[in-house]
Amino acid sequence: MATSAGRSTSICGTVDQLTERVFEQNSAFGDQRETPYAVRVRKAFLSYKGAFKGQLSSTELQSTEIDLMWHQQFKSVEQAGEVLARLRKASNAHGQLTASPRAL
């Protein structure tokens, strides 16, 4: 079984890889390494807004429903990015989590 620090490191590492790809494709976002973690998550997810809404526009959903779904999903991802940023900050350089293991 993975330790809580290991789970946090693994999750944050995966998010790092995903946001790195998005930042490489969107030079206007700047340098990922200079961008705070939660901001990276938010910017990366926002880059998929058109694709998200475009796919749903071919369904029977009304545009107001699509907008609401996007907004709710964006807020969820934004909050998850904030939580991961705080957990990442709570981990020290050796990967040991100072926060409660139950948080993960």
Residues in Cβ contact with 6 at an 8 Å cutoff, skipping those fewer than 6 apart: 95
Contact, 12 vs 84, CB < 8 A?
yes
Q: How far is the C-alpha of 89 from the C-alpha of 5, rounded, in Å?
A: 12
Asked which of 2-6, 20-24, 40-44, 63-67 is least confident by mean pLDDT, the reply is: 2-6
* pLDDT of the residue at 93: 45
Contact, 15 vs 84, CB < 8 A?
yes
pLDDT per residue over 82-94, tens digit each?
Answer: 998 888 887 754 4
The model carries a pTM of: 0.74
* pLDDT of the residue at 90: 77
* pLDDT of the residue at 68: 97
Average pLDDT, the chain: 83
